[in-house]
């Protein structure tokens, strides 16, 4: 097997020998290097890009304390995805990305055959939404484990169909609250500095949302940290997900883990997807080598998450929609990084003099 140092030098030589000034393609060159190292080749390729949108309901949403929209909107938006009417549908159509929508735990029964061809529905329901974490943990240990394993299985099946670049999105009224709690638990940032406006709460609603989530955090923090969680990051991550997570977030954790294991290029979307990634990284610290961060969300906590991870996102569009929309917009840029490496002429093949050859001819 070729050594990592030799591979890195080979990819670097290929990048620098293209008909351009060194470094002039900036971040595209960085991505070409990352993808080449991930795939173990100086001629990487991207096949059958996919976005997977995980959908689930949250028990807290039924209280109305953290969300201005009713819980029923989750199911309504899933139907919108299946009918081709959402932003993620538009961007996937435009960029030739296959779209899968997963019922991870929506409080609704979807009938196979309701799809219009715009998106494929995957049935993976763990339950009719999580429990209200103001009163008890969001899910049981068994539900958590089944969610993570389902996420892994979904990605495995997509990869076996030929896909090697994948982005994850989500839909779930109340899931920005779960993401804020997860962020606070892992980064140590106070809850109030993690909480944003989500689907558009006003100032009074934001105060209620913050105070509610501070109570939730205080209620569960002792349980999250008890026993082996003090020394085992994987147990710590599981406890956080069990107390604060959603079925769609836990399923996304499994999806991140399996995609990285399979050396797929993983495109990280916004606030909620990055919260899932924080949990996955506690379980598998080497996860980030597979990840490209699509954008910085307009949700207030996302920039802090990215700084915590040392991540540099591609886009700054002030988006905070979710659904995987940021990932869908970023995939064409990622494809460009591979295409220039494989298709752009070298100085030798184009008969163009480069700085090194000029210096040699003049010596």
89: domain CATH number is: 3.40.50.10210
Q: Domain range holding 66? A: 50-341
Instruction: Taking residues 56-75, report their average pLDDT.
Output: 94
Q: What is the pLDDT of residue 204?
A: 87
Average pLDDT of the chain? 93
Residue 21 lies in a domain: no
> What are the beta bridge partners of residue 315?
295
Q: What is the pLDDT of residue 190?
A: 97
Residue 349 lies in a domain: no
Distance (Å) of CA 16 to CA 33, 77, 312: 11, 46, 22
Confidence of residue 115 (pLDDT cuts 50, 70, 90): low
Environment class of 112 (CB within 10 Å of its CB; exposed 0-12, middle 13-18, buried 19+): exposed
Tokens encoding 168: 């994850």
If one counts every other C-beta atom within 10 angstroms of the C-beta of residue 235, the result is 18
Confidence of residue 74 (pLDDT cuts 50, 70, 90): very high
Q: At what angle do helices 175-187 and 271-283 cross, to 10 degrees?
A: 40
Confidence of residue 113 (pLDDT cuts 50, 70, 90): low
pTM of the model: 0.94
Q: What is the pLDDT of residue 355?
A: 58
Choice among 284, 323, 343, 359 that is catalytic: 323
Dihedral Cα 242, 247, 248, 253, nearest 10 deg: 40
Would the pLDDT of 338 be above 60? yes
Would the pLDDT of 35 be above 50? yes
Would the pLDDT of 362 be above 60? no
Residue 246 lies in a domain: yes
323 is catalytic: yes
CA distance 191 to 327: 26
- Span of 51-55, 130-134, 342-346 with lowest mean pLDDT: 342-346
122 vs 198, higher pLDDT = 122
Q: What is the pLDDT of residue 353?
A: 65
Q: Sign of the CA dihedral 94, 287, 104, 132?
A: negative
Confidence of residue 116 (pLDDT cuts 50, 70, 90): low
Instruction: Taking residues 165-173, report their average pLDDT.
Output: 98
Task: Count how many domains the chain has.
Answer: 1
Q: What is the pLDDT of residue 358?
A: 41
Within 13 Å, how many C-alpha atoms sit on residue 313's CB side?
A: 27
Would the pLDDT of 350 be above 70? no
Tokens encoding 17: 């020998």
Residue 4 lies in a domain: no
Please, are residues 277 and 291 in contact by the beta-carbon 8 Å criterion?
A: yes
90 vs 197, higher pLDDT = 90
Please, are residues 292 and 30 in contact by the beta-carbon 8 Å criterion?
A: no
Q: What is the pLDDT of residue 312?
A: 96
Residue 13 lies in a domain: no
Confidence of residue 1 (pLDDT cuts 50, 70, 90): low
Please, are residues 52 and 88 in contact by the beta-carbon 8 Å criterion?
A: no
Would the pLDDT of 359 be above 60? no
Instruction: Give the 3-state secondary structure of residue 170.
Output: strand
Residue 262 lies in a domain: yes
Would the pLDDT of 322 be above 60? yes
CA angle 230, 231, 236 (to 5 degrees): 60
Tokens encoding 203: 């100032």
Q: What is the pLDDT of residue 211?
A: 97
227 vs 38, higher pLDDT = 38
Instruction: Give the 3-state secondary structure of residue 1.
Output: coil
- Span of 39-48, 117-126, 323-332 with lowest mean pLDDT: 117-126
Confidence of residue 229 (pLDDT cuts 50, 70, 90): confident
Q: What is the pLDDT of residue 142?
A: 98
Would the pLDDT of 21 be above 60? yes
Instruction: Taking residues 45-61, report their average pLDDT.
Output: 98
Instruction: Taking residues 36-62, report their average pLDDT.
Output: 97
Residue 261 lies in a domain: yes
Alpha helices in the chain (DSSP H): 4-16, 27-39, 73-83, 87-95, 141-160, 175-187, 191-194, 203-225, 233-244, 247-261, 271-283, 300-309, 325-343, 347-350, 355-362
Residue 329 lies in a domain: yes
């Amino acid at each position: 097997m070729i050594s990592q140092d030799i591979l890195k030098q080979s990819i670097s030589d290929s990048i620098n020998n293209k008909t351009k000034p060194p470094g002039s393609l900036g971040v595209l060159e960085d991505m070409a290097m990352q993808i080449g190292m991930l795939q173990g080749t100086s001629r990487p390729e991207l096949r059958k890009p996919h976005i997977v949108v995980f959908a689930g309901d949250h028990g807290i949403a039924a209280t109305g304390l953290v969300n201005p929209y009713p819980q029923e909107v989750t199911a309504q938006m899933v139907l919108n995805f299946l009918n081709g009417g959402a932003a993620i549908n538009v961007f996937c159509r435009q960029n030739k990305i296959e779209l899968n929508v997963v019922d991870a735990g929506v409080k609704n029964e979807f009938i196979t055959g309701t799809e219009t061809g715009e998106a494929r529905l995957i049935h993976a329901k763990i339950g009719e939404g999580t429990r209200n974490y103001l009163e008890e943990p969001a899910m049981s240990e068994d539900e958590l484990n089944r969610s993570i394993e389902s996420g892994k299985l979904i990605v495995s099946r997509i990869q076996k169909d030929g896909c090697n670049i994948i982005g994850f999105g989500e839909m779930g009224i109340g899931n920005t609250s779960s993401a804020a709690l997860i962020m606070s638990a892992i980064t140590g940032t106070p809850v109030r500095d993690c909480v944003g406006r989500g689907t558009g709460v006003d100032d009074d609603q934001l105060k209620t949302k913050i105070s509610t989530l501070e109570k939730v955090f205080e209620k569960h923090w002792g349980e999250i940290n008890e026993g082996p969680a003090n020394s085992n990051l994987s147990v710590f991550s599981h406890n956080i997900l069990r107390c604060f997570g959603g079925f769609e977030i836990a399923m996304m954790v499994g999806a991140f883990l399996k995609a990285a294991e399979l050396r797929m290029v993983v495109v990280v979307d916004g606030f909620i997807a990055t919260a899932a990634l924080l949990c996955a990284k506690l379980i598998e610290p080497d996860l980030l080598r597979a990840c490209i961060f699509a954008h910085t969300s307009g949700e207030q906590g996302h920039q802090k998450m990215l700084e915590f991870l040392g991540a540099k996102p591609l886009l700054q569009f002030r988006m905070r929609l979710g659904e995987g929309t940021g990932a869908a917009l970023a995939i064409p840029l990622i494809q460009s990084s591979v295409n220039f490496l494989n298709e752009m002429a070298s100085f030798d093949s184009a008969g163009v003099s480069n700085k090194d050859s000029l210096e040699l001819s003049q010596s």
